[in-house]
């Protein structure tokens, strides 16, 4: 059975293919149990190999820049993660993926792929966090530690760019959401975000995609952060998105205080959260219900921050 398709240009990936790739290129792991990992991830298919490894394969070479400016494509992320994760890991307070091997194109699969150490934990769910204040503090420590890593020589962040670079795709997405969300409120909130001064501080490391699907918790505490595909150096404001896609309003102050975020940085992070959610919702509305529901959640939270008495969606069945 192939991984559920979310993009027109993605490869066909199934257990049989991954088995052949692993056995052919890593014969010392041949015969280990292999099973798909259920995930809301959009750019990679994941399989558990044995008890303590994960095979991660890009679904496609490139994403449409107009629709999904998150990244140029997961296939290009493999090299960056293989190079940089071992350098970042010693400076971070929680686990990150540890590369164990890099596979190459074979068996009709066209790109490089990775084998990582398996990380235990579960993805947190917004609205169902037992100790949100503690998790907010943990996330603040992670983002702070990442920002403190020497940025010299680091790759440009896939999202450490001015919000204005996302104006066209964000407005296009708002147009597609007519009748699904309050598009007038969305336009007002987005235009307010565009008026925020650009980042004027030094370039710093950011994860770039700090969403619930890329966070692992153990007994309510942050245990690991995964998917560094767009990590790099630039405006680190994008890592504030977790304040709206995961943390409840009452815990956001803990996260903000841990980062020492000023008003402009905080508002810029909120603008990032809104833009990402607006672009994701129409694209994944019918193919990834978890991500679509998360996008609706972010839109509602941003509207609430703006004091908008707007209805972000018509219901889970839309």
Per-residue pLDDT band for 5 (boundaries 50, 70, 90) equals low
Q: What distance in Å separates the CA atoms of residue 187 and residue 192, rounded to the nearest whole number? A: 8
Interior/surface letters 264-274, b for 16+ CB within 10 angstroms, e for the rest = ebbbbbbbbbb
CA proximity to 54, closest of 224, 232, 246: 224
CB atoms within 10 A of CB 55: 26
CATH fold, domain 15-117, is Phosphorylase Kinase; domain 1 (3.30.200)
Q: What is the pLDDT of residues 56-70, one digit of tens each?
A: 999 877 532 223 344
Q: What is the CA radius of gyration of the chain?
A: 19
Q: What distance in Å separates the CA atoms of residue 197 and residue 95, rounded to the nearest whole number? A: 34
Share of the chain above pLDDT 90, in %: 79
CATH fold, domain 132-305, is Aminoglycoside 3'-phosphotransferase; Chain: A, domain 2 (3.90.1200)
Q: Where are the alpha helices (DSSP H) in 148-286?
A: 167-176, 183-194, 242-245, 249-259, 263-284
Per-residue pLDDT band for 8 (boundaries 50, 70, 90) equals low
Q: What distance in Å separates the CA atoms of residue 41 and residue 217, rounded to the nearest whole number? A: 17
Q: What is the pLDDT of residues 203-252, one digit of tens each?
A: 999 999 999 999 999 999 999 999 998 999 999 999 999 999 999 999 99
Domain(s) labelled CATH 3.90.1200.10 in the chain stretch across 132-305
CA proximity to 270, closest of 243, 233, 309, 307: 243
Structure tokens at 278: 């607006």
Domain(s) labelled CATH 3.30.200.20 in the chain stretch across 15-117
Q: What distance in Å separates the CA atoms of residue 175 and residue 229, rounded to the nearest whole number? A: 28
Structure tokens at 242: 């977790």
Q: How many residues does the chain have?
A: 318
Q: Determine the distance from the C-alpha atom of residue 192 to the mean position of all C-alpha atoms in its chain, rounded to a whole number.
A: 24
Place of tokens 């088995």: 19
Contact in structure between 312 and 257 (CB atoms under 8 Å) = no
Residue 3 has pLDDT above 70, yes or no: no
CA proximity to 265, closest of 234, 226, 237, 224: 237
The pLDDT of residue 7: 67
The pLDDT of residue 132: 97
* pTM recorded for the entire structure: 0.89
């Amino acid at each position: 059975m192939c991984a559920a398709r979310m993009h027109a240009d993605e490869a066909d990936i199934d257990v049989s293919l991954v088995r052949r790739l692993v056995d052919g290129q890593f014969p010392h792991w041949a015969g280990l149990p292999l099973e798909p990992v259920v995930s809301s991830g959009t750019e990679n298919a994941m399989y558990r190999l044995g008890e303590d490894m994960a095979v991660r394969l890009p679904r496609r070479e490139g994403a449409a820049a107009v629709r999904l400016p998150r990244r140029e494509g997961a296939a290009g992320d493999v090299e960056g993660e293989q190079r940089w994760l071992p350098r970042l890991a010693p400076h971070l307070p929680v686990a990150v993926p540890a590369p164990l091997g890099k596979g190459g194109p074979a068996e009709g699969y066209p790109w490089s792929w990775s084998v990582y150490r398996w990380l235990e934990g579960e993805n947190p769910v917004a609205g169902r966090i037992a100790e949100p204040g503690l998790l907010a503090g943990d996330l603040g420590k992670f983002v702070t530690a990442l920002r403190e890593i020497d940025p010299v020589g680091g790759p440009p962040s896939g999202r450490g760019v001015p919000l204005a670079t996302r104006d066209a795709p964000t407005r296009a997405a708002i147009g597609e959401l007519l009748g699904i969300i309050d598009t007038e409120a969305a336009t007002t909130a987005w235009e307010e975000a565009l008026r925020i001064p650009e980042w004027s501080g030094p370039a710093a490391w950011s994860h770039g995609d700090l969403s619930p699907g890329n966070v692992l918790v153990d007994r309510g505490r942050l245990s690991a952060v995964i998917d560094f595909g767009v990590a790099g150096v630039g405006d680190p404001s994008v890592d504030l998105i977790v304040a709206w896609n995961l943390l409840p309003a009452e815990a956001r102050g803990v996260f903000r205080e841990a980062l020492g975020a000023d008003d402009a940085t905080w508002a810029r992070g909120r603008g990032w959260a809104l833009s990402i959610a607006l672009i994701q919702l129409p694209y994944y509305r019918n193919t990834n219900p978890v991500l679509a529901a998360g996008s609706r959640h972010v839109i509602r939270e941003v509207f609430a921050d703006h004091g908008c008495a707007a209805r972000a969606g018509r219901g889970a069945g839309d």
